[in-house]
Amino acid sequence: MNYITLPSTDLKISTIGLGTWVFGSSHWSGAEKKDCINAAHAAIEHGVNFIDTAPIYGDGLSEEIIGEVLKSNRNRIIVATKCGLIKDGKRITFNLSPESIEKEVEASLRRLQIDCIDLYQCHWPDPDTPIEKTMSTLLQLQSQGKIRHIGISNFDLDLLKNALSFAPVVSLQVQYSLLNRSIEKDLLPFCREKQIGILAYGPLGGGILSGKYHKQPHFTSSDARNFFYKFYQSKQFEQIQTSLEKLKEIERPLYQIAINYIRQKEGITSVLVGCRNREQALTNTESVQWDLSPEQVAFIERHFTVIAE
């Protein structure tokens, strides 16, 4: 495994991180708790020391699973979780108010069974709460020893700059894949300049870049591959399959090509990859055993269709 120090911190994190949205069994057609625990242990055994979760993943179930994993691995693991997405019946609301954050952090600490969260991130922007109030609350939690570092997720450049004016933000978590390279326009250059670590999620485009889908699948309306990773629609699916055929000329597993394309980009601290079981966890970590050459990167960029900008 390779490791990079998250800028402005003492956190040396694995370049492949474990994303755990699937662990919550929500929006991903379910996942067995035992399989999730085994997957996390497999990833750790093969050098992954960075785990990212969130209370919204399965109404806290993902955090509870990671809490079980941390019992025997706390000293080896850097754990990140989030705040700001609240489930209200069937609705999800955005809430980064001081009162909500203070409530969320206590619940996360309890589920994770730890005393301090290494990286605490705003999950999504909250248009109804001034960013200075949110950042002030996070600074207070930091001074209380409940969180070590402050990160944000899914913020645009203007909001990121605004947040930085009120608190030291060390990381930005954002979607980045062969299919969605929108951060290359402004966020990636800015974070490189300001030494803000980028945690890239969705490197496999919700699984479509794994190469396992040869026919267009159909998911339930609540599945993330239907409403969040919108790459499975007929026209887009066909375009992606054409691009994947070209990538086969590199003669490496497609999912590893997709992961390494993001992992090797300057400014990327860690690529967050999800998994359902031990086998998937192992194949993801194997990506670090080789690198794409400059010629292969150029080949990919010539032949791969970008779907989201």
Active site residues per annotation: 57
Provide CB contacts within 8 A for 224, sequence distance 6+.
21, 27, 28, 206
Q: Are 116 and 146 in contact (CB under 8 A)?
A: yes
DSSP class of residue 6? Answer: P
Distance, in Å, from the CA atom of 300 to the CA atom of 208, rounded to the nearest integer, reads: 16
- In terms of phi and psi (left: phi > 0; alpha: psi -120 to 50; beta: otherwise), the region of 261 is alpha
Radius of gyration of the chain measured on its C-alpha atoms: 18
| Beta-strand relationship, 12-14 and 3-5 | antiparallel
Beta pairing partners, 153: 173
Q: Are 70 and 81 in contact (CB under 8 A)?
A: no
